[in-house]
Amino acid sequence: MMDMSVRPRTVADLLWDAAASAGDLPAIAMGGQTITYAGLRNRASSVAAVLVDRGVKPGDRVAILAERGPDGVAAYFGALAAGAVAVVINERSRPRQVEYVLRRSNARVLLTSRALLAEHPRALETDADSIDIAAIVGISDLEWSPRRAGERGLAQIIFTSGSTGLPKGVVFSHRAMLAAIEMVVGYLELGSGERIFSLLPFSSVYGLNQLLCAVLTKSTLVVSISSLGEKIVSEAREQRVTVIAGVPPLWLQLLATPAFRGQPIDSLRVVQNAGGHLPVDAVRQLRSAQPQARLYLQYGMTEHVFVGYRSVHRSGLGGHKFIHYSLVLKFSTVSSPKRTGLFVSFAAFTLGHLVDN
């Protein structure tokens, strides 16, 4: 029988652990400014305290609409530390898109910024309680410990891009998120002191993974909000980034940038692609442009991939490592006995799509 006096580990614990053992190290670098792990935990603690004061209970949904940066990160960890389910919304979403996510997720609170809302053509129509993150005053001596998650141990809901229809909410447990991040850190061979480039929105699993990998390894997340190839490459060099994760359009943009294609970024040692197929020619160009970096071609937690029986051959375009599944069963159906498939049980799997309550 489970001991209910022992709180299961949550994603919020990653930040609290980092602050306890490496509080003075830089957690986020952005625009020439940095915030330490201790400072980030204090900001997240203040957010959690405000949420609980507003009546947020474990399992309640808390939406986050904020720019990538310290405030957005503090809001994310603060929501988790309050025991809530975080719903990160793309900061470039239009009002009707934000309203759809708030309504679909049944968000009780919206953590956002007045500056971001001021860019919208109209006010949001929602029953969610709106809180300005910037107005939450950090309390340096606040002793806050992450609360127990809700009944199902849910951590977050990520809404997909909606490329095949309306965006669908994908539900993640704390257990799956922790398993996934530990797995990624392991196969990428990330250590402490990395400088991980953040170029993708936190509203995507891939973008959020960069943040969580940084916190788990007590490394620095280097945030860039530029969309210009030359500027991105310049920041990567200046900030001595060691890890860059991108999606195919970003890599094609960088490969078209002479500064990226013509001279390796000396500090760069890990290059990742997910979110879509990267053409073979682009893979070759990446390897040529950054020969010192290891290239990983990946699938995300909200993507589908066929699991076959044969091992993937080493084509010279990218190495492959198998994931150790906890359970793999071959099955057939009564109606189609000749058609077989695989049932895969894996700690890092999502809990599926959000369904109406």
In a domain, 279, yes or no: yes
**Domain check: are 157 and 233 in the same one?**
no
Q: 156-169, pLDDT tens digit by residue?
A: 999 976 555 677 88
As beta bridge partners, residue 26 has 36
In a domain, 124, yes or no: yes
Per DSSP bridges, beta strands 61-64 and 107-112 are parallel
State how many domains the chain has. Answer: 2
Eight-class DSSP state of 99: H
Q: Is the pLDDT of residue 314 over 50?
A: no
Eight-class DSSP state of 324: -
**Domain check: are 278 and 162 in the same one?**
no
In a domain, 179, yes or no: no
3-state secondary structure of 90: coil
User: In CATH, what number is assigned to the domain containing residue 292?
Assistant: 3.40.50.980
Q: Tokens 């809700």 label which residue?
A: 150
Measured between alpha carbons, how far is 189 from 270 in angstroms, rounded to an integer? 9
In a domain, 145, yes or no: yes
In a domain, 133, yes or no: yes
In a domain, 346, yes or no: no
Residues 6+ apart with CB under 8 A from 19: 37, 38, 40, 41
Q: Higher confidence at residue 26 or residue 330?
A: 26
Last residue of a domain, one of 132, 150, 173: 173
Q: Which domain holds residue 292?
A: 226-297
Last residue of a domain, one of 173, 190, 214: 173
Measured between alpha carbons, how far is 217 from 206 in angstroms, rounded to an integer? 17
Percent of the chain with pLDDT over 90: 68
Last residue of a domain, one of 131, 157, 173: 173
Q: Are 156 and 180 in contact (CB under 8 A)?
A: no
Rg (the chain; Cα; Å) = 21
Q: Higher confidence at residue 307 or residue 83?
A: 83
Q: 230-287, pLDDT tens digit by residue?
A: 999 999 999 999 999 999 999 999 999 999 999 999 999 999 998 888 899 999 999 9
Distances in Å between the Cα of 153 and the Cα atoms of 25, 71, 110, 149, 213 are 30, 25, 21, 5, 21
Q: What pTM did the predictor assign?
A: 0.86
**Domain check: are 145 and 27 in the same one?**
yes
Closest by alpha carbon to 177, among 86, 59, 290?
86
Q: Are 60 and 108 in contact (CB under 8 A)?
A: yes
In a domain, 265, yes or no: yes
Mean model confidence pLDDT for the chain:
84
In a domain, 218, yes or no: no
Q: Are 37 and 218 in contact (CB under 8 A)?
A: yes
**Domain check: are 168 and 230 in the same one?**
no
As beta bridge partners, residue 35 has 28
Q: 181-205, pLDDT tens digit by residue?
A: 998 999 899 999 999 999 999 998 8
Q: Which of 151-155, 228-232, 307-311, 331-335 has the highest mean pLDDT?
A: 228-232
Q: Is the pLDDT of residue 138 over 70?
A: no
Distance of CA 231 to the CA centre of its chain: 23
Measured between alpha carbons, how far is 103 from 277 in angstroms, rounded to an integer? 32
Q: What mean pLDDT comes out for the span 14-23?
A: 96
Q: What is the dihedral sign for C-alpha 22, 27, 29, 35?
A: negative
